A and B are shown apart, each in its own frame.
Chain A
Amino acid sequence: MVIGKEIDIHPSKGIVIRYKGAFDLDSLYKSVKSWFSANSYDYYEKENTEKTKPQGNSVILKMNGVKDVDDYVEFRIDAIFEEILRIKKLEKGHHGEVRAIIKAVMVLDYRSSWKSYPFLFHLYNNIILKRKIHNYYWPRIYDDMMDLNSLIKSKLNMVE
């Protein structure tokens, strides 16, 4: 596999989680948000939408975190709640339908210092840094992605 500027860690469409049932939306939101800061990611919220509907509110949350691992490598993780539909408030928590996608990307030379030297950039990544990418960076971001996946599933009362 040739190593380019961005390496997708997730499966092609991301890790997709679907759930219908009871869960605590406030706790889910807070836990995911805290997870990013607890794991040294700068947290960004690309979108936070809530629509009031008679059949129950719907929510869209696009949360993402960016971590500069060192001067060369950056990790980006997205937790996208594409749709949380028909949210009904229960005595404790909520009931609704959730579709979430988790994506993780490793970005090399995120400061674009090698931009003017594409050939050297290619050699550096695919020869000199290759082992470190596979044995050091890759397992770290993969673990982060799977940890977040477990957290979301646990908050949705799903089997981990």
Chain B
Amino acid sequence: MKIKIDLLKEQKIKFEGVTDFGELYKYLKLWLGDNGYANERNLEQRYIERIKGDKKQYEIFWHGEKKKSDFFKYNIDVAFLILGLADVEVEQNGVKRKMQKASYEFKVSSYLESTPAWDNLKGFQRIYYNLIMRKRINDYLGELYDKSAKFHSYIKELLGLRD
């Protein structure tokens, strides 16, 4: 039987203000890459850009996953919704920079999921692995919780929010 255990459930981070969207996008992707969750083929599952007058709107969905063992994998999903994005010029330390003013919203989810190898176990094999894995699942959940909470904090840090 397939196992799916949710940890973070669409934890929302919202910021209305000015930030460097290109940099934010790049750093978040790098974080997932550096931590082994980004697979270029399937990370970005949706990228929609809409132009509304002189403003832009983005809907982006990333699915990050990392194989933990033959039987389990970690998943971190993040959905971006960026509304009313417009370029603004900001002076930082005497240097003018082009940044983006918008309403930025992120929803972060994480969950532990079994792989097909687990789902296809039968009979005594299933009973045997069930006994062994029960304890290990708790360790996996602890590790994934820490990792996804760090990613959540990283988004807040990039936006300059409290953490």
Contacts and interface: CB of A to CB of B under 8 A. Distances in A.
B161 A52 contact: no
Contacts of B17: 50-52
Interface stretch (A41-49, A96-104, A119-127, A129-137): A41-49
A19 interface: no
A26 B16 contact: no
Nearest to B155: A48
B50 interface: no
Contacts of A46: 11-12
Interface string B136-163: 0000000001000100100010010110
Interface in A48-63: 48-52, 60
B16 A50 contact: yes
Contact of A51 (B12, B16, B145): B16
Interface in A137-153: none
Contact of A47 (B8, B14, B159, B162): B14
B28 interface: no
Contacts of A26: 162
Given A47-B11, A48-B12, 19 more contacts: A26-B162, A30-B162, A46-B11, A47-B12, A48-B13, A48-B156, A48-B161, A49-B12, A49-B13, A49-B14, A50-B16, A50-B17, A50-B159, A50-B161, A51-B14, A51-B15, A51-B17, A52-B17, A60-B14
Contacts of B18: 52
Contacts of A50: 14-17, 159, 161-162
Interface of A: 25-26, 29-30, 42-52, 60
Interface residues of B, number: 16
Interface of B: 8, 11-18, 145, 149, 152, 156, 159, 161-162
B114 to A, nearest CB: 18
Nearest to B152: A45
Nearest to A26: B162
Contacts of B16: 50-52
Given A44-B8, A49-B14, A25 B152 contact: no
B102 to A, nearest CB: 11
Contacts of B156: 48
A15 to B, nearest CB: 22
Given A50-B16, A51-B16, A52-B16, A45 B11 contact: yes
A46 B159 CA distance: 17
A78 to B, nearest CB: 14
